[in-house]
Amino acid sequence: MGWTVLSRRNRRKSRAEEPGRTPGQEPKMPIVTIQQGPRSVEQKRELVKKVTEAFVEALEVPAESVFVWVQEYQGENWGVAGKLTADR
């Protein structure tokens, strides 16, 4: 496949040349992992929405191809500057 010429000024991309695709391949699927302390469902919903929008804009991929994983850790399971977050 390649370009289908409709006129000199109006060209249409083939399916293989859609953003995020390379010839003979499906779109690359971005997978984003966010590791954080506990947040509310509303905060995570907004975060996932904005991260997806950023990938759609930057990589020109469909939103349906962006997977966002949120991993949450309690304060006793991570630390900063040599101290558990739970002890701060």
Residues 23, 30, 38, 62: which is the catalytic one? 30
Rounded CA separation 30/81 (Å): 31
The 8-class DSSP code of residue 75 comes to G
Asked about 19 being catalytic, the answer comes back as no
Q: Which residue has the tokens 């000199």?
A: 8
* Long-range pairs of 76-83 with CB within 8 A, sequence gap ≥ 24: 78/37
Rounded CA separation 64/16 (Å): 17
The catalytic site residues sit at 30
